Structure 1
């Protein structure tokens, strides 16, 4: 199960302050020239070798309440130390090239500036690492690529600039690496898109699969790597991806990444392995080098007949042969694999009729060479028009007498060309380098090449307790129940993926029970702003399945959450976008106590009439103790570790009609879903709620494991 986190794009517009350029001379080094003199200056070098220092001027035209500063060098360093005002600390790094300084207790007012002093330490025997890029809260404020006078020859060879337009090309050109290998070891960098996927097992990282880097943020692999013969999916926090790895026992030049999301194909069957494909989203983008580059996705004609007879390559750390009992390799091997037609594959052995589909392909020489145990998820790459393109993902092979893979039979691959629309929906068109897709509706803003959850295209400032604008809350949806006398509005919900809406369980269950209403009677409207009018861009979806939390208590409203799986995926647009799920490393309620969350909805008035326009209210979260003391007779029954209270107690609050809607918080320009409107007190003898009391929200941060296990297409 996996999923969820996304990279944060900063909204701040950084103002660069002019400063005099400075040069620092090093012993035996050419002068260190600042790539952005208006932002960063080197300090004069001292006599001590192995370090240099400098200062970066940080400023913003908007208020910053948190700092995330990324310092990228052009070659590895031993460490980076930072200091500003009264703050000092060491930067963190996983690859010793990109360093991060995160400070939550930080404030920078508009038009003010902060001077960040940096000290970089390195091995003086090696080339001096130079500043390449600085990012403030995700925004590039200093970039070496913009300084044309920079001596490119002085950069370490492994740190050349590679763009996504150069996918599928190894350093030095593809002509260097002809298809001559068959079970032979190869050199580092010859297949720079091959990655290794690890699973945390009893505190130890265990290699489970290979995968293919297809962008600076995405890895494509087999779904069975995380979900095999079970509906249980390995949790996202248990997965680690290593990129640029060659020898499994040596992490030199290797980048390690955790995940923010995983996308198992919605029609994947963990028992038959049909639609065996999975996309992993890394928690941070990777920088391309000679040893880390993406493979190209397939382009053009996707018919299998187009590639039958073509020979591709497969690489991995699997067993040397079917009979080899010594286990997996420390270094990868490469084999050739010719593609055959599905009819030929099925004709070779009857069992292939049961494991091949119109979304698979077969390949191999049937001579004892090929991908084997440990190679699952790795790619089948074809050289097309001068670029290596990913055509298949290792899925399964037949079993031999040694209970290992039978390499005297064909190997079954997931045919990635048949999943291009699905892949496009997840990672964006930027990484598909042809005009295969031409749907103009899909050309929305995708930070970093993909659509970002929690982002709003419409930039208007919200007015509290007033109608909102179209597109301001693109994840909020109304849910209706069909009845003989018409349709009934049940409440709101929050879109969190292409096919999933989160809402309150009590909104979609029969009164006083855990039993869901008839799914065939539910309708969800996406991109809807005014309930009475119909406009272009609204999408209507029916419900395929209702998942009510198994521990939902209809009496106390504990764990009041349900997930609606839509029959068809929605198309994201300026008016339809998902909210981000809450970061699972910040689930403590104290992180939001005192902060205001935003809730929108179509509420009922005192005459039980539904307001036609979406309204916004902002409510501060209070502690459980404060909530209980305010009305112990009520809140003692309806609050728990899975709820929190919020409200102004001044007349503005959530009310009837808001049930199931989400409370979202804006962090660094991104909206995150924390809670669901669950219940509130009613005015005595009246239909409407009493805004002089707090409202109770389901705390989704405490229910993330269940959400991850239920939602499969983040």
Structure 2
């Protein structure tokens, strides 16, 4: 078609059975349905769509009815169907389909071709129709479909799709055709310390559960995941969607990492994640949810309903009329779903309660026995013009957020720095107990080459895993042998944990390549590295091997030592064997290797080369190009550790029955490999310090210890700045053991801060204050100041300095944790409170700022926040920061300066002026880490504020400022106490 159709509740695609070899005889006696607008019994075209049910009959029955009509066309390409009651397709119905019910969906199996019409016997009840057998033409149909598909989606599958296929290897069916896992055991409960149900979730991987962020941040505070028949699992990590803000229905998703993986089985299989290609919103949508039988009951049961349908986005009131000033959502991130199963809501009224948050909306395929998660319930509400007998729910749409989900669960990153798996660095590498015929070497990688036109893949080489993202192999495996140019990344498919080509298992992992690194002189240095686009899961089924430093001469002399190679026998036969194998080989001495290389290859072997022989005719090499050469330490402190020594390069034949395997030694390439694994880019001092601070973080039940109290949500690195009388002045944020970041407005307060109160209530003296040299008190330009503590704090897992945002880590469109002073109704004194909200971009701030302020505020280094809780005299020093709960890292994005009103916006919202840290980072780094900048300017000393200002007389912030121009002509303000 020239334009695609839009799916709706009345326009849904039919399913096609992809099994080309299905036997037509299985349809005999089955009834299918046909539809059409063809002629009726009155001989006129129908004005309405008519349907009829026809049984499929044997070819012989059609043949006996009319040998002349049907005899020359009956074959495997067609089948025959007909009634004995006179019902059949008529002229005008040709081309219509014949549909068969397959339990939970309809399958197209035939196309109406022609039928028998006898004008002289119109009333003859016996009428047969010939149908084209769709199965016969499926290869051609798929080719047509493939031509219209985007090529990039044809090339590779998403990591979530590959994992779904892995989980499918666990499925089994009973003799009656029912799936073992038909009880939706991937539906899980989130419970609190008392074991009470807080909300629902879904198991999507052995160690990960998806639920709602609102549930995680609720006052009920879930601490465990309860999985039916598997008990309770504690959290190891909690990740809310970075764009979720408090009290919102947008981006309300969270991912929980369990402290131990779940043991999967035939009846406990994770659910698949919907994406743009696998989502089917017009299939049967099943909602499942654990509920308590009443609001006061503690007995939990799993309920399900399939009376759900997608409705228009506008039906959900709260999605139509968003009142947020900074809206980071669109109309694809949520689903508005109407349920007509009023009985289940009457029986279980808690379905309208918050405990039903995280309920699953899914499609189920009885053929594959897999469920695909379409949405997660985030809210229950009344609809716009929807009758009371219906329930309207809002679901987070999984396909819109699958990129983020994959990133969190499978660590999808463009590149991950990795250390060389050296024995003196990583003792977890090289662990494997090779006994008997067990050839499941956990670091062996099967490298498939993919045909770009067909998508078919063939095993051609092997490789060795040396980090969770890096596979070492030979250059011959990754370059075009004609041109010598490296093959494109999409040409490779990497299989980890694969040991039998004809049998997939749940421990096998498939990854694609994101980078191809070939030695710059690969014609003589046969080595290459493939970087996977997703990290692989670690032991026991997949792990990395160790590498010995190049200066360990004793190790690299392998003559007389027992070494192994593994592979699929492609070097010997050209075609892969079905089973992965290993073999102990004999390494020749240097003189023997020189003789072999000189006589057979015409050149002398190099120190970077080993040789192995197969002296007997019945011995076959089991290796592939790129197969690893493995050696195991049999003595000393490294007893039992496996080490990679080289890679198989080629196989050569001697003048007799002898054959030799040429092996590339790894020793000359250790430094080159280390350079590929390690990112050598120069990093800012603030980034390096951020890594140091994050390394000290710890978690308890998945919650970062430096996240602070669950009551007020204030992180411990947010500090209170006090004056000489220990009265509260403003807020600041600890960014280094001895330095606090705040606003210049705070330092020019009549009661200037002289002390800092930490979260543990300890009070430290401030020894100096430095304002940004470009600060302008009138428009709050560069309103940033650094306070130096007289005594550095002791960093612990509960008190860790915050990181500083830069241009790469700022991420202004994410939700920010905003800590500011709020005056409660029952207290005259303001107190710090934290809440997740958005921060405005320059364009967004310009829209809401009153016209008379536009010439004064929002220079490029400023942004804004909106809240009716802001107070102009209390906003300075407020902290705006992003949160990475995976790394337990808080990054300061902005420092509050002042607040202004815009009465035209209604409800008197206050607009907070925020100075962006990223645009003042150069200056902040020079002040905080001055030892890193020996050529920085000398800061000017400034006199302390007199007691007169504190006593109440008019205060000019510049009155007591002695300005001295430094040699670099920079104006600086430094106050020393």
Normalised-by-shorter TM-score class: 0.3 to 0.5
The structure whose residues are more often helix, as a share, is 2
* TM-score normalised to structure 1 length: 0.40
Of the two structures, which has the highest relative contact order with CA contacts closer than 8 Å and spacing of 6 or more? 1
